[in-house]
């Protein structure tokens, strides 16, 4: 499982966008206040050419620009972890990409979950149980 797009999940939730809304641009607001996303509901997929199989978006004037705060993102992240029990940084794989090159992709243990793949706050609970 690949890592979830928490920013997209947050934007859909906070702004009541449909589940098939996807961001095409991700940006940070100044002074760490939050994030902005620009996206749209794809109108289909490319059937040929170099972008074959990729989502095809409508013209830019039909895109929406939405803003989410750092708190809203954090809350969506906790909700996602509570629902799945998985680490939202690595999507439960316990791995994060270390480097991508022509020789292939290398991975290292996810720093957020120590390579366990479990959500951080849920991992704390199981440790307590072991000590009893």
Angstrom distance (rounded) from CA 33 to CA 99: 29
Name the one range near Zn ion by CB under 5 A: 4-12, 42-50, 85-93, 124-132.
85-93
Does 113 interact with Zn ion (rule: CB under 5 A)?
yes
Out of 78, 87, 103, 106, name the contact with Zn ion by CB under 5 A.
87
Does 86 interact with Zn ion (rule: CB under 5 A)?
no
Does 89 interact with Zn ion (rule: CB under 5 A)?
yes
SS3 20: coil
Does 119 interact with Zn ion (rule: CB under 5 A)?
no
CA distances from 101 to 65, 69, 94, 107, 109 (A): 33, 34, 21, 12, 18
Pick between residue 13 and residue 123 the one whose CB is nearest to Zn ion: 123
Does 90 interact with Zn ion (rule: CB under 5 A)?
yes
SS3 129: helix
Q: Report the candidate in 23, 114, 4 with the shortest Cα–Cα distance to residue 63.
A: 23
- List residues binding Zn ion (CB under 5 A): 87, 89-90, 110, 112-113
């Amino acid at each position: 499982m690949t890592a979830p797009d928490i920013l997209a999940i947050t934007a859909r939730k906070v702004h009541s966008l449909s589940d098939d809304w996807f961001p095409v641009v991700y940006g940070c607001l100044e002074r760490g206040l939050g994030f902005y996303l620009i996206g749209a509901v794809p109108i289909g997929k490319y059937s040929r050419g170099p972008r074959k199989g990729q989502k095809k978006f409508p013209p830019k004037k039909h895109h929406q620009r939405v803003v989410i705060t750092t708190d809203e993102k954090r809350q969506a992240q906790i909700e996602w972890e509570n629902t799945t029990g998985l680490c939202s940084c690595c999507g439960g794989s316990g791995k994060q990409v270390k480097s991508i090159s022509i020789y292939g992709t290398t991975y290292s243990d996810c720093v957020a979950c120590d390579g366990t793949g479990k959500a951080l706050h849920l991992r704390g609970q199981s440790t307590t149980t072991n000590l009893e």
